[in-house]
Amino acid sequence: MNLKGRSFLTLKDFTPEEIQYLIDLAADLKAKKKKGITGQSLKGKNIALIFEKPSTRTRCAFSVACNDEGGFHEYLGRSEIQLGSKESVKDTARVLGRMFDAIEFRGFSHKHVEMLAQYSGVPVWNGLTDEYHPTQILADFLTLQEHFGYLKGLNFVYMGDGRNNMANSLMIGCGKMGVNCTIIAPKELWPNEEIVGQSREYSAAAGSVITITDDISAVKGADCVYTDVWCSMGEEEKAAERVSLLRPYQVNAQVMETTGKDSSVFMHCLPAVKGNEVTEDVFEADYSIVFDEAENRMHTIKAVMVATLGE
């Protein structure tokens, strides 16, 4: 499958077959790395890593993946470039596109990553925006595929803030891949209707179901219970309000028991605020696969880089 030259901004832009290709490529690259085999597909390639928002997993994943494949990366923090302040995003994109072979962007506005892709002339990868987090979903799906052996037909439950970038991206990804996805959230934090509608179109084509509810008992039958922080970066002033609203939606031992399945797993995109969205005992339980998931950020990001830029 040829994805050369494509940007990776949201899973809406990719077919189920293309998403599966990236997951399988990541599994192959992971197996090779475990054997000490790395590649040279990015040799001679210069990659800009723009970070308006700080990160552990995303930054390390892009850096290690780039190094493994023989590329060079330049970290550009918020205070180091003029993006959208002294210089327009459009102009920054045209400058970076002349100097780099690809650009990663992790920041606030999804419009900014779209403009970088539109004007730079090189592949642009979304490391996270306020609306979408597509590289995380690839890592989640690789982890689920490793654990269960398949994706299509799994019952996936997300509990917490239903209108953040993770809920958005999980609905889109699950819809595309035929995974039944239930978002359990207070009505005040239900996801955007447009994204729900798009996801349901994908799921109808794939033979799965997207459900939005405030009923915690809907966790019954879940193969995976997933959560995220209750207050996203940039929303710190809403922390007290969110904690009060979301306290009933904490993933705890009782929630995991309610699935009714001994095989259910717990996942979290990290970092976790233990005691808020998840209890310590669930986070540390044998059924918690959060660190497999974290490692897989690197393998799936590498797959995106190799597929869209590599030789």
DSSP string, 196-253: HHHHHHHHHHHT--EEEES-GGGGTT-SEEEE--SS-TT-GGGHHHHHHHHGGG-B-H
**Considering the domain boundaries, does residue 33 fall inside one?**
yes
Question: 118 and 141: one domain?
Answer: no
Q: How many CB atoms lie within 10 A of CB 238?
A: 13
Average pLDDT over residues 274-283: 98
**In this structure, what are the phi and psi dihedrals at residue 266, rounded to the nearest 5 degrees?**
-110, 135
Question: 288 and 169: one domain?
Answer: yes
Catalytic annotation, pick one of 200, 224, 269, 299: 269
- Does residue 180 sit in helix, strand or coil? strand
Is 297 annotated to bind ligand? yes
pLDDT tens track for 170-185: 999 999 999 999 999 9
pLDDT tens track for 209-225: 999 999 999 999 999 99
Sign for the CA dihedral angle at 301, 9, 232, 139 comes to negative
Is 57 annotated to bind ligand? yes
Residue 133 a catalytic site member: yes
- pLDDT at residue 232 is higher than 90: no
Question: 197 and 107: one domain?
Answer: no
**Considering the domain boundaries, does residue 3 fall inside one?**
no
- Give residue 280's pLDDT band: very low, low, confident or very high (50, 70, 90): very high
**In this structure, what are the phi and psi dihedrals at residue 175, rounded to the nearest 5 degrees?**
-60, -45
Catalytic annotation, pick one of 73, 106, 147, 299: 106
Q: Are 26 and 83 in contact (CB under 8 A)?
A: no
pLDDT tens track for 243-261: 999 999 999 999 999 999 9
pTM here is 0.96
Helix-helix angle 290-309:57-68, to 10 degrees: 50
**Considering the domain boundaries, does residue 190 fall inside one?**
yes
Residue 120 carries which side chain, given as an amino acid letter? S
Question: 100 and 55: one domain?
Answer: yes
- Give residue 241's pLDDT band: very low, low, confident or very high (50, 70, 90): confident
Q: Where are the alpha helices (DSSP H) in the chain?
A: 16-34, 57-68, 89-99, 110-120, 134-148, 165-177, 193-206, 239-246, 253-258, 280-283, 290-309
Q: Residue 85's pLDDT is what?
A: 77
Residue 269 a catalytic site member: yes
Q: Residue 233's pLDDT is what?
A: 67
Is 2 annotated to bind ligand? no
Is 276 annotated to bind ligand? no
Residues above pLDDT 90, as percent of the chain: 93
Question: 96 and 156: one domain?
Answer: no
Is 110 annotated to bind ligand? no
To which residue do tokens 């001994």 refer? 262
Q: Residue 35's pLDDT is what?
A: 98
What does the block give as tokens for 235? 């929303």
Catalytic annotation, pick one of 6, 59, 110, 133: 133
Catalytic annotation, pick one of 224, 228, 242, 299: 228
Is 308 annotated to bind ligand? no
Give the closest residue to 297 by CA, choosing from 23, 52, 19.
23
Residue 145 a catalytic site member: no
Helix-helix angle 290-309:134-148, to 10 degrees: 120
Question: 117 and 141: one domain?
Answer: no
Residue 267 pairs in a beta bridge with: 226
Residue 147 a catalytic site member: no
Residue 211 pairs in a beta bridge with: 182
Give the closest residue to 9 by CA, choosing from 167, 127, 109.
127
Question: 145 and 221: one domain?
Answer: yes
Is 85 annotated to bind ligand? no
Is 242 annotated to bind ligand? no
Q: Tell me which residue range forms the domain holding 242.
A: 136-293
- Give residue 82's pLDDT band: very low, low, confident or very high (50, 70, 90): confident
What is the number of domains present in the chain?
Answer: 2
Question: 19 and 71: one domain?
Answer: yes
Residue 106 a catalytic site member: yes
- Does residue 135 sit in helix, strand or coil? helix
Is 134 annotated to bind ligand? yes
Catalytic annotation, pick one of 6, 68, 130, 136: 136
Catalytic annotation, pick one of 110, 112, 242, 297: 297
Question: 25 and 45: one domain?
Answer: yes
Q: Tell me, what CATH number does 240's domain have?
A: 3.40.50.1370
Q: Residue 80's pLDDT is what?
A: 86
Residue 297 a catalytic site member: yes
Alpha carbons within 13 angstroms on the beta-carbon side of residue 273 total 15
* Span of 113-127, 228-242, 260-274 with lowest mean pLDDT: 228-242
**Considering the domain boundaries, does residue 1 fall inside one?**
no
**Considering the domain boundaries, does residue 87 fall inside one?**
yes
- What mean pLDDT, rounded, does the chain reach? 96
- pLDDT at residue 237 is higher than 80: no
Is 232 annotated to bind ligand? yes
**Considering the domain boundaries, does residue 48 fall inside one?**
yes
**Considering the domain boundaries, does residue 70 fall inside one?**
yes
Question: 165 and 238: one domain?
Answer: yes
**Considering the domain boundaries, does residue 6 fall inside one?**
no
Question: 115 and 200: one domain?
Answer: no
Question: 239 and 174: one domain?
Answer: yes
pLDDT tens track for 15-72: 999 999 999 999 999 999 999 999 999 999 999 999 999 999 999 999 999 999 999 9
